[in-house]
Structure 1
Amino acid sequence: MKKYLFFILVGLASCSEENNSSETIKHNEANFTLSKSNERSVWNNIQVGETLKFDVKIKDFDSSPDVVYVLKPITADATKHQQNKIDYNFQEEIKVTSSLMSESIEDQFVKQTRDSIVVKLANSSFFVSILKPGNFTQQYELRKMLANKYVAGSTQEILFSAVKIEMYTWNEQTSNSSMFGNSKHSRYYEFTIDDGDQTNDTYLTDSDSKQNTYTALYNDKKFNGNIFINSAMTFSEKVNTEKGAQIVPKWTLSELKITQKRNHEPDNIILYNNLTIKQK
Protein backbone atom coordinates (compact mmCIF):
# COMPACT_ATOMS: atom_id res chain seq x y z
CA MET A 1 0.00 0.00 0.00
CA LYS A 2 2.84 2.37 0.87
CA LYS A 3 4.47 1.58 -2.49
CA TYR A 4 1.29 2.53 -4.42
CA LEU A 5 0.91 5.74 -2.38
CA PHE A 6 4.51 6.67 -3.26
CA PHE A 7 3.88 6.29 -6.99
CA ILE A 8 0.69 8.36 -6.78
CA LEU A 9 2.52 11.20 -5.02
CA VAL A 10 5.35 11.11 -7.56
CA GLY A 11 2.82 11.25 -10.41
CA LEU A 12 1.05 14.23 -8.86
CA ALA A 13 4.34 16.04 -8.33
CA SER A 14 5.30 15.38 -11.97
CA CYS A 15 1.99 16.80 -13.25
CA SER A 16 2.42 19.84 -11.00
CA GLU A 17 5.89 20.51 -12.40
CA GLU A 18 4.58 20.25 -15.99
CA ASN A 19 1.77 22.71 -15.24
CA ASN A 20 4.16 25.15 -13.56
CA SER A 21 6.52 24.88 -16.52
CA SER A 22 3.66 25.58 -18.93
CA GLU A 23 2.54 28.58 -16.88
CA THR A 24 6.08 29.94 -16.77
CA ILE A 25 6.47 29.74 -20.55
CA LYS A 26 3.17 31.55 -21.04
CA HIS A 27 4.06 34.04 -18.35
CA ASN A 28 7.31 34.93 -20.11
CA GLU A 29 5.80 35.70 -23.51
CA ALA A 30 5.68 39.26 -24.87
CA ASN A 31 3.51 38.92 -27.95
CA PHE A 32 1.80 41.98 -29.37
CA THR A 33 0.07 43.29 -32.49
CA LEU A 34 0.87 46.59 -34.16
CA SER A 35 -1.71 48.33 -36.35
CA LYS A 36 -2.50 51.64 -38.01
CA SER A 37 -5.03 53.66 -36.04
CA ASN A 38 -8.59 53.70 -37.30
CA GLU A 39 -8.68 57.43 -36.57
CA ARG A 40 -7.08 57.92 -40.00
CA SER A 41 -9.16 56.43 -42.80
CA VAL A 42 -6.70 56.94 -45.71
CA TRP A 43 -3.04 55.92 -45.46
CA ASN A 44 -1.78 56.38 -49.01
CA ASN A 45 -1.43 60.20 -48.84
CA ILE A 46 1.01 60.75 -45.96
CA GLN A 47 3.14 63.90 -46.12
CA VAL A 48 6.27 65.06 -44.36
CA GLY A 49 5.27 67.01 -41.26
CA GLU A 50 2.32 64.80 -40.38
CA THR A 51 2.04 62.80 -37.17
CA LEU A 52 0.75 59.23 -37.43
CA LYS A 53 -0.90 57.20 -34.69
CA PHE A 54 -0.30 53.46 -34.23
CA ASP A 55 -2.06 51.09 -31.87
CA VAL A 56 -0.39 48.44 -29.72
CA LYS A 57 -2.23 45.45 -28.28
CA ILE A 58 -0.32 43.16 -25.88
CA LYS A 59 -1.51 39.56 -25.70
CA ASP A 60 -1.88 38.04 -22.20
CA PHE A 61 -0.89 41.32 -20.55
CA ASP A 62 0.87 40.77 -17.23
CA SER A 63 -0.15 43.38 -14.66
CA SER A 64 2.18 42.14 -11.91
CA PRO A 65 3.81 45.05 -10.05
CA ASP A 66 7.36 43.95 -10.94
CA VAL A 67 6.61 43.60 -14.67
CA VAL A 68 7.34 46.40 -17.13
CA TYR A 69 6.78 46.40 -20.90
CA VAL A 70 9.12 48.55 -22.96
CA LEU A 71 8.47 49.40 -26.62
CA LYS A 72 11.27 50.74 -28.77
CA PRO A 73 11.91 51.20 -32.50
CA ILE A 74 14.62 49.18 -34.23
CA THR A 75 16.94 51.74 -35.82
CA ALA A 76 19.33 49.50 -37.77
CA ASP A 77 18.65 50.27 -41.44
CA ALA A 78 18.93 53.83 -42.78
CA THR A 79 17.86 52.71 -46.28
CA LYS A 80 14.45 51.78 -44.84
CA HIS A 81 14.08 55.08 -42.95
CA GLN A 82 14.43 53.46 -39.54
CA GLN A 83 16.50 56.21 -37.91
CA ASN A 84 14.66 57.75 -34.97
CA LYS A 85 15.09 61.56 -34.74
CA ILE A 86 16.39 61.64 -38.33
CA ASP A 87 13.72 60.03 -40.51
CA TYR A 88 10.97 60.35 -37.90
CA ASN A 89 10.32 61.10 -34.26
CA PHE A 90 9.08 58.22 -32.08
CA GLN A 91 6.65 59.91 -29.70
CA GLU A 92 4.63 59.33 -26.57
CA GLU A 93 1.56 61.37 -25.70
CA ILE A 94 1.49 62.56 -22.10
CA LYS A 95 -1.01 64.56 -20.10
CA VAL A 96 0.15 67.87 -18.65
CA THR A 97 -1.86 69.33 -15.80
CA SER A 98 -1.68 73.10 -15.59
CA SER A 99 -2.85 75.51 -12.91
CA LEU A 100 -2.97 79.29 -12.68
CA MET A 101 -3.48 81.08 -9.38
CA SER A 102 -4.86 77.87 -7.84
CA GLU A 103 -7.54 77.75 -10.52
CA SER A 104 -7.21 74.56 -12.50
CA ILE A 105 -7.61 74.72 -16.26
CA GLU A 106 -8.12 71.96 -18.79
CA ASP A 107 -5.45 69.29 -18.97
CA GLN A 108 -3.41 69.30 -22.15
CA PHE A 109 -1.90 66.43 -24.08
CA VAL A 110 1.55 66.91 -25.59
CA LYS A 111 3.75 64.57 -27.62
CA GLN A 112 7.34 64.00 -26.55
CA THR A 113 10.03 62.27 -28.59
CA ARG A 114 11.48 59.18 -26.92
CA ASP A 115 14.05 56.45 -27.48
CA SER A 116 11.64 53.98 -25.86
CA ILE A 117 8.23 54.01 -24.20
CA VAL A 118 6.93 52.15 -21.16
CA VAL A 119 3.62 50.55 -22.15
CA LYS A 120 1.33 50.50 -19.10
CA LEU A 121 -1.84 49.05 -20.60
CA ALA A 122 -2.75 46.06 -22.75
CA ASN A 123 -4.17 48.46 -25.34
CA SER A 124 -2.08 51.53 -25.96
CA SER A 125 -0.83 53.87 -28.71
CA PHE A 126 2.23 55.77 -29.83
CA PHE A 127 2.94 58.39 -32.48
CA VAL A 128 5.38 58.86 -35.35
CA SER A 129 6.15 62.35 -36.64
CA ILE A 130 7.44 62.19 -40.22
CA LEU A 131 10.64 64.15 -40.88
CA LYS A 132 11.69 62.81 -44.30
CA PRO A 133 9.99 61.43 -47.42
CA GLY A 134 10.41 57.81 -48.45
CA ASN A 135 9.16 54.23 -48.18
CA PHE A 136 9.23 53.42 -44.46
CA THR A 137 9.78 49.87 -43.21
CA GLN A 138 9.46 50.34 -39.47
CA GLN A 139 10.17 47.63 -36.94
CA TYR A 140 9.35 47.74 -33.24
CA GLU A 141 10.45 45.51 -30.38
CA LEU A 142 8.40 44.91 -27.25
CA ARG A 143 10.44 43.81 -24.24
CA LYS A 144 9.01 42.30 -21.09
CA MET A 145 11.09 43.12 -18.02
CA LEU A 146 10.74 41.45 -14.61
CA ALA A 147 12.52 43.18 -11.74
CA ASN A 148 14.60 45.11 -14.32
CA LYS A 149 15.66 41.90 -16.07
CA TYR A 150 14.76 40.90 -19.62
CA VAL A 151 12.49 37.85 -19.71
CA ALA A 152 10.86 37.95 -23.18
CA GLY A 153 10.52 39.97 -26.37
CA SER A 154 9.03 40.06 -29.86
CA THR A 155 9.03 42.34 -32.90
CA GLN A 156 6.44 43.66 -35.34
CA GLU A 157 6.77 45.52 -38.65
CA ILE A 158 4.66 48.20 -40.29
CA LEU A 159 4.95 49.80 -43.75
CA PHE A 160 3.94 53.17 -45.18
CA SER A 161 5.14 55.81 -47.64
CA ALA A 162 5.47 59.57 -47.22
CA VAL A 163 6.17 62.38 -49.69
CA LYS A 164 7.14 66.04 -49.44
CA ILE A 165 5.02 68.41 -51.53
CA GLU A 166 5.87 72.08 -51.93
CA MET A 167 3.39 74.43 -53.64
CA TYR A 168 4.57 77.89 -54.60
CA THR A 169 3.99 80.86 -56.86
CA TRP A 170 6.45 83.35 -58.26
CA ASN A 171 6.45 86.40 -60.49
CA GLU A 172 8.85 87.83 -63.02
CA GLN A 173 8.87 91.18 -64.77
CA THR A 174 9.24 90.52 -68.48
CA SER A 175 9.58 94.13 -69.60
CA ASN A 176 9.97 97.58 -68.10
CA SER A 177 7.54 100.44 -68.49
CA SER A 178 8.28 103.04 -71.12
CA MET A 179 6.68 105.98 -72.83
CA PHE A 180 5.09 103.50 -75.19
CA GLY A 181 3.63 101.08 -72.66
CA ASN A 182 3.37 99.69 -69.15
CA SER A 183 5.65 97.15 -67.55
CA LYS A 184 4.71 93.53 -68.13
CA HIS A 185 4.68 90.69 -65.62
CA SER A 186 4.13 86.93 -65.57
CA ARG A 187 3.00 84.91 -62.57
CA TYR A 188 3.73 81.18 -62.38
CA TYR A 189 2.09 78.48 -60.26
CA GLU A 190 4.30 75.46 -59.65
CA PHE A 191 4.97 72.59 -57.26
CA THR A 192 7.52 69.88 -56.58
CA ILE A 193 7.25 66.38 -55.11
CA ASP A 194 10.04 64.50 -53.33
CA ASP A 195 9.41 60.81 -52.58
CA GLY A 196 12.77 60.08 -50.90
CA ASP A 197 16.50 59.77 -51.56
CA GLN A 198 17.04 56.04 -51.03
CA THR A 199 17.14 53.42 -53.79
CA ASN A 200 13.79 51.92 -52.79
CA ASP A 201 12.02 55.30 -52.48
CA THR A 202 9.89 55.04 -55.60
CA TYR A 203 6.39 55.72 -54.32
CA LEU A 204 5.51 58.31 -56.99
CA THR A 205 8.39 57.58 -59.38
CA ASP A 206 7.57 56.23 -62.83
CA SER A 207 8.80 52.77 -63.78
CA ASP A 208 8.24 50.17 -66.50
CA SER A 209 5.13 48.98 -64.65
CA LYS A 210 3.84 52.24 -63.15
CA GLN A 211 3.08 55.70 -64.58
CA ASN A 212 1.99 58.70 -62.51
CA THR A 213 -0.15 61.62 -63.70
CA TYR A 214 -1.82 64.45 -61.78
CA THR A 215 -4.87 66.69 -61.85
CA ALA A 216 -4.63 69.89 -59.81
CA LEU A 217 -7.77 71.76 -58.75
CA TYR A 218 -6.99 75.41 -58.05
CA ASN A 219 -9.37 78.38 -57.99
CA ASP A 220 -12.12 76.13 -59.42
CA LYS A 221 -10.00 75.21 -62.46
CA LYS A 222 -8.23 71.94 -63.29
CA PHE A 223 -4.75 71.47 -64.69
CA ASN A 224 -3.34 68.12 -65.81
CA GLY A 225 0.21 66.88 -66.20
CA ASN A 226 2.75 64.11 -65.65
CA ILE A 227 4.62 63.59 -62.39
CA PHE A 228 8.35 64.36 -62.47
CA ILE A 229 10.02 63.81 -59.10
CA ASN A 230 12.03 66.78 -57.78
CA SER A 231 11.22 68.86 -60.86
CA ALA A 232 8.96 71.91 -61.18
CA MET A 233 5.43 71.07 -62.33
CA THR A 234 2.55 73.45 -63.07
CA PHE A 235 -0.76 73.48 -61.20
CA SER A 236 -2.30 76.55 -62.88
CA GLU A 237 -1.81 78.47 -66.11
CA LYS A 238 0.70 81.32 -66.23
CA VAL A 239 -0.98 84.73 -65.84
CA ASN A 240 0.37 87.75 -67.75
CA THR A 241 -0.40 91.25 -66.44
CA GLU A 242 0.65 94.86 -66.93
CA LYS A 243 1.77 97.50 -64.40
CA GLY A 244 2.26 94.91 -61.66
CA ALA A 245 2.11 91.27 -60.70
CA GLN A 246 -1.21 89.48 -60.49
CA ILE A 247 -2.67 89.31 -57.00
CA VAL A 248 -2.82 85.64 -55.97
CA PRO A 249 -6.54 84.70 -55.83
CA LYS A 250 -6.11 81.84 -53.35
CA TRP A 251 -3.26 80.59 -51.18
CA THR A 252 -4.58 77.04 -50.98
CA LEU A 253 -4.73 74.31 -53.61
CA SER A 254 -8.05 72.54 -53.20
CA GLU A 255 -6.92 69.12 -54.44
CA LEU A 256 -3.96 67.36 -56.01
CA LYS A 257 -5.14 64.07 -57.47
CA ILE A 258 -2.47 61.58 -58.52
CA THR A 259 -3.41 58.62 -60.69
CA GLN A 260 -1.06 55.64 -60.78
CA LYS A 261 -1.58 53.41 -63.79
CA ARG A 262 -0.14 49.96 -63.10
CA ASN A 263 0.19 47.00 -65.43
CA HIS A 264 -2.67 44.51 -65.07
CA GLU A 265 -3.99 46.28 -61.93
CA PRO A 266 -6.70 48.87 -61.25
CA ASP A 267 -5.61 52.50 -61.10
CA ASN A 268 -4.40 53.70 -57.71
CA ILE A 269 -5.82 57.10 -56.78
CA ILE A 270 -4.00 59.29 -54.25
CA LEU A 271 -5.57 62.55 -53.03
CA TYR A 272 -3.80 65.42 -51.30
CA ASN A 273 -6.19 68.16 -50.14
CA ASN A 274 -5.89 71.78 -49.04
CA LEU A 275 -2.21 72.27 -49.81
CA THR A 276 -0.75 75.61 -48.74
CA ILE A 277 0.84 77.77 -51.47
CA LYS A 278 3.85 79.88 -50.59
CA GLN A 279 5.41 82.89 -52.27
CA LYS A 280 8.78 81.98 -53.72
Structure 2
Amino acid sequence: MTTHPAARALRATPEGLLWEPSERWVRGLRGDVTVVDSRHPVLVWEPRLPVPQYAFPREEVRTDLLRPARHPPADGHTGPAVFYDLVAGGDPRPNAAWTFPGEDLSGHIAFAWFGRTGTGLDHWYEEDEEIFVHPRDPYKRVDAMPSSRHVRVEIDGTVVADTRAPVLLFETSLPIRYYLPREDVRLDLFDPTDHSTRCPYKGTAREYWSWRGAGAVPPDIVWSYPDPLPAVAAIKGRLAFFNEVVDLTVDGERLPRPVTPFSADLRT
Protein backbone atom coordinates (compact mmCIF):
# COMPACT_ATOMS: atom_id res chain seq x y z
CA MET A 1 0.00 0.00 0.00
CA THR A 2 1.24 3.51 -0.82
CA THR A 3 2.57 5.38 2.18
CA HIS A 4 2.91 8.90 0.80
CA PRO A 5 3.36 11.29 3.75
CA ALA A 6 0.34 13.29 2.62
CA ALA A 7 -1.85 10.26 1.98
CA ARG A 8 -4.52 11.44 4.42
CA ALA A 9 -5.04 14.61 2.38
CA LEU A 10 -5.09 12.84 -0.99
CA ARG A 11 -7.69 10.76 -2.71
CA ALA A 12 -6.84 7.15 -3.47
CA THR A 13 -8.01 4.98 -6.35
CA PRO A 14 -8.54 1.20 -6.18
CA GLU A 15 -5.58 0.90 -8.56
CA GLY A 16 -3.18 2.43 -6.01
CA LEU A 17 -2.97 5.98 -7.40
CA LEU A 18 -3.08 9.06 -5.20
CA TRP A 19 -4.45 12.28 -6.61
CA GLU A 20 -5.75 15.74 -5.80
CA PRO A 21 -7.02 18.73 -7.79
CA SER A 22 -4.64 21.64 -8.36
CA GLU A 23 -5.67 25.27 -8.70
CA ARG A 24 -2.72 26.19 -10.93
CA TRP A 25 -3.13 27.24 -14.56
CA VAL A 26 -0.97 24.80 -16.52
CA ARG A 27 0.00 24.91 -20.19
CA GLY A 28 2.07 22.50 -22.26
CA LEU A 29 3.51 23.25 -25.72
CA ARG A 30 5.06 21.26 -28.55
CA GLY A 31 7.10 23.89 -30.37
CA ASP A 32 4.74 26.86 -30.64
CA VAL A 33 1.60 24.69 -30.57
CA THR A 34 -0.34 24.73 -27.29
CA VAL A 35 -1.40 21.14 -26.65
CA VAL A 36 -2.59 21.59 -23.06
CA ASP A 37 -4.28 24.67 -21.60
CA SER A 38 -5.79 23.68 -18.27
CA ARG A 39 -7.23 25.53 -15.31
CA HIS A 40 -8.37 22.29 -13.70
CA PRO A 41 -5.30 20.01 -13.63
CA VAL A 42 -4.99 17.07 -11.28
CA LEU A 43 -1.77 15.99 -9.56
CA VAL A 44 -1.26 12.22 -9.62
CA TRP A 45 1.22 10.12 -7.65
CA GLU A 46 2.00 6.61 -8.88
CA PRO A 47 3.33 4.05 -6.38
CA ARG A 48 6.54 3.45 -8.33
CA LEU A 49 7.41 7.09 -9.06
CA PRO A 50 8.91 9.51 -6.49
CA VAL A 51 7.47 12.64 -8.14
CA PRO A 52 3.94 13.70 -9.13
CA GLN A 53 2.53 14.07 -12.62
CA TYR A 54 -0.22 16.22 -14.02
CA ALA A 55 -3.35 14.82 -15.62
CA PHE A 56 -5.75 17.12 -17.49
CA PRO A 57 -9.47 17.04 -18.33
CA ARG A 58 -9.93 15.93 -21.91
CA GLU A 59 -11.75 19.13 -22.81
CA GLU A 60 -8.61 21.11 -21.89
CA VAL A 61 -6.36 19.02 -24.16
CA ARG A 62 -5.96 19.21 -27.94
CA THR A 63 -7.14 15.64 -28.39
CA ASP A 64 -7.24 16.24 -32.16
CA LEU A 65 -3.43 16.09 -32.00
CA LEU A 66 -3.43 12.63 -30.40
CA ARG A 67 -3.62 9.27 -32.13
CA PRO A 68 -3.84 5.80 -30.57
CA ALA A 69 -0.25 4.67 -30.02
CA ARG A 70 1.19 2.51 -32.78
CA HIS A 71 3.55 0.72 -30.40
CA PRO A 72 2.32 1.16 -26.83
CA PRO A 73 4.66 -0.05 -24.09
CA ALA A 74 3.74 -3.23 -22.27
CA ASP A 75 4.48 -1.56 -18.95
CA GLY A 76 5.35 1.84 -17.63
CA HIS A 77 2.46 3.15 -15.56
CA THR A 78 0.10 1.89 -12.89
CA GLY A 79 -2.51 -0.44 -14.35
CA PRO A 80 -3.53 -0.92 -17.99
CA ALA A 81 -2.89 2.59 -19.34
CA VAL A 82 -4.04 3.59 -22.82
CA PHE A 83 -1.27 5.39 -24.76
CA TYR A 84 -1.37 8.01 -27.50
CA ASP A 85 1.15 9.31 -30.01
CA LEU A 86 1.40 13.09 -30.36
CA VAL A 87 1.17 14.47 -33.91
CA ALA A 88 1.91 18.18 -33.66
CA GLY A 89 4.69 20.49 -34.76
CA GLY A 90 6.91 17.98 -36.53
CA ASP A 91 7.63 14.27 -36.27
CA PRO A 92 5.16 12.20 -34.24
CA ARG A 93 6.19 11.62 -30.64
CA PRO A 94 5.36 8.06 -29.60
CA ASN A 95 3.56 7.33 -26.34
CA ALA A 96 3.61 11.00 -25.39
CA ALA A 97 0.27 10.81 -23.57
CA TRP A 98 -1.81 8.24 -21.72
CA THR A 99 -4.86 7.73 -19.57
CA PHE A 100 -4.86 6.19 -16.10
CA PRO A 101 -7.01 3.14 -15.32
CA GLY A 102 -10.18 3.24 -13.22
CA GLU A 103 -13.11 5.60 -12.96
CA ASP A 104 -11.60 8.38 -10.83
CA LEU A 105 -9.32 9.72 -13.57
CA SER A 106 -11.04 8.27 -16.62
CA GLY A 107 -11.75 11.72 -18.07
CA HIS A 108 -8.14 12.89 -17.81
CA ILE A 109 -5.01 12.63 -19.97
CA ALA A 110 -1.40 12.77 -18.74
CA PHE A 111 1.71 13.71 -20.73
CA ALA A 112 5.38 12.73 -20.53
CA TRP A 113 7.69 15.28 -18.88
CA PHE A 114 10.88 13.27 -18.68
CA GLY A 115 12.23 9.95 -19.93
CA ARG A 116 13.28 8.95 -23.40
CA THR A 117 14.53 11.73 -25.68
CA GLY A 118 11.84 12.91 -28.07
CA THR A 119 8.80 12.14 -25.94
CA GLY A 120 6.33 14.50 -24.35
CA LEU A 121 6.06 18.25 -24.77
CA ASP A 122 8.79 20.87 -25.13
CA HIS A 123 7.68 23.50 -22.64
CA TRP A 124 5.53 23.58 -19.52
CA TYR A 125 4.19 26.60 -17.64
CA GLU A 126 2.52 27.03 -14.27
CA GLU A 127 0.80 30.41 -14.50
CA ASP A 128 3.43 32.41 -16.48
CA GLU A 129 6.52 30.68 -15.07
CA GLU A 130 8.21 27.96 -17.11
CA ILE A 131 8.85 24.81 -15.11
CA PHE A 132 11.09 21.86 -15.85
CA VAL A 133 11.58 18.13 -15.31
CA HIS A 134 8.33 17.40 -13.43
CA PRO A 135 5.57 19.25 -11.54
CA ARG A 136 6.54 20.57 -8.17
CA ASP A 137 5.33 18.44 -5.31
CA PRO A 138 3.16 20.59 -2.98
CA TYR A 139 4.24 18.36 -0.08
CA LYS A 140 7.94 18.95 -0.64
CA ARG A 141 9.99 21.84 0.78
CA VAL A 142 13.27 23.30 -0.41
CA ASP A 143 14.87 25.88 1.92
CA ALA A 144 18.21 27.64 1.40
CA MET A 145 19.59 28.96 4.69
CA PRO A 146 22.85 30.87 5.27
CA SER A 147 24.91 29.36 8.08
CA SER A 148 28.17 29.77 10.00
CA ARG A 149 28.86 26.04 10.29
CA HIS A 150 32.40 24.90 9.59
CA VAL A 151 32.31 22.68 6.50
CA ARG A 152 35.32 20.80 5.12
CA VAL A 153 35.23 18.66 1.98
CA GLU A 154 37.83 15.98 1.19
CA ILE A 155 38.43 13.69 -1.77
CA ASP A 156 40.78 10.77 -1.17
CA GLY A 157 42.27 12.63 1.81
CA THR A 158 42.80 15.92 -0.05
CA VAL A 159 40.97 18.95 1.35
CA VAL A 160 39.20 20.53 -1.60
CA ALA A 161 37.00 23.01 0.27
CA ASP A 162 36.96 24.63 3.69
CA THR A 163 34.48 27.32 4.74
CA ARG A 164 32.65 28.89 7.66
CA ALA A 165 30.08 30.60 5.43
CA PRO A 166 28.02 27.88 3.73
CA VAL A 167 24.43 28.04 2.60
CA LEU A 168 22.60 24.88 3.65
CA LEU A 169 19.94 23.62 1.27
CA PHE A 170 17.30 21.48 2.95
CA GLU A 171 15.22 19.45 0.50
CA THR A 172 12.60 16.97 1.60
CA SER A 173 13.82 13.34 1.40
CA LEU A 174 17.38 14.32 0.41
CA PRO A 175 20.51 14.98 2.49
CA ILE A 176 21.55 18.55 3.22
CA ARG A 177 23.50 20.04 0.33
CA TYR A 178 26.23 22.48 1.35
CA TYR A 179 26.63 25.39 -1.08
CA LEU A 180 30.06 26.95 -0.55
CA PRO A 181 31.62 30.28 -1.56
CA ARG A 182 33.81 29.87 -4.64
CA GLU A 183 36.78 31.41 -2.89
CA ASP A 184 36.66 28.59 -0.33
CA VAL A 185 36.80 25.80 -2.94
CA ARG A 186 40.01 24.54 -4.63
CA LEU A 187 38.66 24.79 -8.18
CA ASP A 188 42.24 24.45 -9.45
CA LEU A 189 41.88 20.74 -8.59
CA PHE A 190 38.90 20.32 -10.95
CA ASP A 191 38.19 20.62 -14.66
CA PRO A 192 35.02 22.34 -15.95
CA THR A 193 32.67 20.21 -18.06
CA ASP A 194 29.77 20.95 -20.37
CA HIS A 195 27.31 18.97 -18.23
CA SER A 196 24.07 20.66 -17.12
CA THR A 197 20.91 19.60 -15.29
CA ARG A 198 17.52 21.06 -14.44
CA CYS A 199 15.59 21.02 -11.21
CA PRO A 200 11.96 22.15 -10.81
CA TYR A 201 12.81 23.67 -7.42
CA LYS A 202 16.21 25.27 -8.06
CA GLY A 203 16.46 25.99 -11.79
CA THR A 204 19.29 25.05 -14.16
CA ALA A 205 22.76 24.00 -12.98
CA ARG A 206 24.81 25.19 -15.94
CA GLU A 207 28.24 24.74 -14.38
CA TYR A 208 29.81 21.39 -13.45
CA TRP A 209 33.33 20.29 -12.59
CA SER A 210 35.10 16.92 -12.46
CA TRP A 211 37.90 15.83 -10.15
CA ARG A 212 41.30 16.09 -11.83
CA GLY A 213 43.12 13.77 -9.47
CA ALA A 214 43.46 10.02 -9.34
CA GLY A 215 41.11 7.58 -7.69
CA ALA A 216 37.68 6.14 -8.41
CA VAL A 217 35.78 9.43 -8.47
CA PRO A 218 32.81 9.85 -10.81
CA PRO A 219 32.65 12.89 -13.11
CA ASP A 220 30.62 16.04 -12.51
CA ILE A 221 30.67 15.91 -8.72
CA VAL A 222 30.68 19.71 -8.26
CA TRP A 223 27.97 22.02 -9.57
CA SER A 224 26.63 25.55 -9.39
CA TYR A 225 23.43 27.43 -10.21
CA PRO A 226 24.47 30.76 -11.79
CA ASP A 227 20.87 31.95 -11.91
CA PRO A 228 18.71 29.91 -9.50
CA LEU A 229 14.99 30.35 -9.00
CA PRO A 230 14.06 33.20 -6.62
CA ALA A 231 13.02 30.83 -3.81
CA VAL A 232 16.63 29.63 -3.45
CA ALA A 233 18.46 32.80 -4.51
CA ALA A 234 20.93 32.35 -1.64
CA ILE A 235 22.75 29.55 -3.54
CA LYS A 236 23.51 31.73 -6.57
CA GLY A 237 27.03 31.13 -7.87
CA ARG A 238 27.99 28.88 -4.95
CA LEU A 239 29.45 25.39 -5.34
CA ALA A 240 28.05 22.13 -4.02
CA PHE A 241 29.42 18.58 -3.88
CA PHE A 242 27.66 15.24 -4.03
CA ASN A 243 27.68 14.05 -0.41
CA GLU A 244 27.42 10.55 -1.83
CA VAL A 245 31.03 10.49 -3.11
CA VAL A 246 33.04 13.00 -1.04
CA ASP A 247 33.94 13.13 2.64
CA LEU A 248 32.16 15.92 4.50
CA THR A 249 33.11 17.11 7.96
CA VAL A 250 30.69 19.58 9.56
CA ASP A 251 31.63 21.28 12.84
CA GLY A 252 34.23 18.59 13.44
CA GLU A 253 31.88 15.64 12.79
CA ARG A 254 32.54 13.38 9.82
CA LEU A 255 29.25 12.72 8.06
CA PRO A 256 28.42 9.30 6.62
CA ARG A 257 28.00 9.13 2.88
CA PRO A 258 24.25 8.91 2.22
CA VAL A 259 22.51 6.58 -0.20
CA THR A 260 20.11 8.58 -2.39
CA PRO A 261 18.31 8.26 -5.73
CA PHE A 262 21.48 9.76 -7.26
CA SER A 263 23.80 7.07 -5.90
CA ALA A 264 23.36 4.64 -8.80
CA ASP A 265 24.31 7.34 -11.34
CA LEU A 266 27.44 8.27 -9.39
CA ARG A 267 29.22 4.97 -9.86
CA THR A 268 32.51 5.22 -11.71
- Return the structure number with greater strand share: 1
Q: TM-score normalised to the size of structure 2?
A: 0.23
Identify which of structures 1 and 2 has the higher relative contact order when contacts are C-alpha pairs closer than 8 Å and 6+ apart: 1
